[in-house]
Structure 1
Amino acid sequence: MKKNNWITVFTAILLFVLLGLIYKTSMVKTIDDAFFDFFVSVRSDALDSFCLFLRDFGSSKMYLSFAVVLLIFSIIRKRIWTGIYLLITLLTARLVVQIVKGIYERPRPAAMYYVEDGFSFPSGHAVMATSFFLTLSFILIILDTNLLKQRKIIQVTALAIILLISFSRIYLHVHHFSDIVAGWLVGYVWYSICKNVFIFLHERKQI
């Protein structure tokens, strides 16, 4: 991993640890409540439906379905390890989410729009969306070098989808904003670790 990447990953880890220490403070609660208040102010039936769609679109089952399709595509392109890499990233990211949630055991917001099980910190949807779409954008360019020219568009699209899925969780009152930020940090760190392990093995012709 390049030095700049190490610094970014280490910074993300430090920020997550810090957030895990202060999410119960009045300052963070004020910020969380401000985001709740904003989304309540713009609530509508159309947004309700859209955010419920994003809930299902951003589920682990949907990501695994996409990953299987990409695995088939990678086999066709004779780059099977790219598909396997995405599957491993997703499965291990989900495991990381469960472990970290169990460490913090933060209850979900009291006023949820529907019943959601499990703990709140970090947001699993934010973690999975971040790790999946960042990994997917990286893999697409590997599988088809013609997409290299569209790199910026692919990356911006990936970030936009991550933001939409993440903020829909606040809109539905199943996560605090601080849960979402924590999810972004965990998702980015895990994406970076898996990506650099893949690059390391690939460069040494292990895969």
Structure 2
Amino acid sequence: MWRKLGVRLAIWAGATFFTGELLIPQIFKHITLRQRPDDPLIPISGYSFPSGHAAGSTTFYGFLAILLLLFYLKKKSSKVVVPILFALFILLIMISRVYLSVHYPSDVIAGCLVGIGTITLSAFIYEHGFFRLKNRRL
């Protein structure tokens, strides 16, 4: 991406991933201090709300879908299949976190909303800010 689209867009993507996958979920975890469900199927530590996996996967796959749609995918069928496939990945990750009993359903929903909010904010910054390419809109 750095070579094809330039350093500004690579920084924009990296900042989006860092914010949605790490920064915002960790801030909320340390504000809410919600304990994880009892008897998880895998050993895990830390706080539960929001799900970092749900936030991270939503941010990563959602943002990656946008990048692919904007800059790489040309076929109409690909522009339909890729977002559906990525949404399925996100949903499966969210379900797995609840199945493993490491999160409550509200944790994964909140994590997904964090990811969606991050992508929305990132798109707004792209449209109105420093990272915009000539004549390229989201």
Task: Quickly name the TM-score band, shorter chain normalised.
Answer: 0.7 to 0.9
Matched, 1:89 2:10: no
Q: Aligned Cα RMSD in Å? A: 1.9
Q: Secondary structure at the match of 1:77?
A: helix
Tell me if the contact between 1:135 and 1:195 (Cα under 8 Å) persists in the aligned partners. no
TM-score normalized by the length of structure 1: 0.59
Equivalences for 1:121-160 in 2 at 5 Å?
121-147=49-75, 149-160=77-88
Greater helix fraction, Structure 1 or Structure 2 = 1
Deviation, 1:182, is 0.9
Separation in 2, partners of 1:182, 1:131: 13
Residue 164 of structure 1 is matched in structure 2 by 92
- Stretches of structure 1 that go unaligned for 5 or more consecutive residues are 1-73
Tell me if the contact between 2:40 and 2:102 (Cα under 8 Å) persists in the aligned partners. yes
Separation in 2, partners of 1:138, 1:148: 14
Task: Look up the equivalent residue of 1:77 and give its one-letter code.
Answer: K
Separation in 2, partners of 1:85, 1:203: 12
Deviation, 1:84, is 2.2
Separation in 1, partners of 2:72, 2:109: 32
How many residue pairs match? The answer is: 132
CA deviation profile, 1:108-131 (whole Å, cap 9, x unmatched): 011111221111011110011111
Residue 9 of structure 1 is matched in structure 2 by none
Q: Which moved more, 1:85-94 or 1:129-138?
A: 85-94
Question: Considering only CA atoms, is the larger Rg found in Structure 1 or Structure 2?
Answer: 1
Cα 1:88/1:147, change in 2 over 3 Å: farther
Separation in 2, partners of 1:128, 1:87: 13
Separation in 1, partners of 2:75, 2:56: 24
Equivalences for 1:4-83 in 2 at 5 Å?
74-83=1-10
Deviation, 1:142, is 2.3
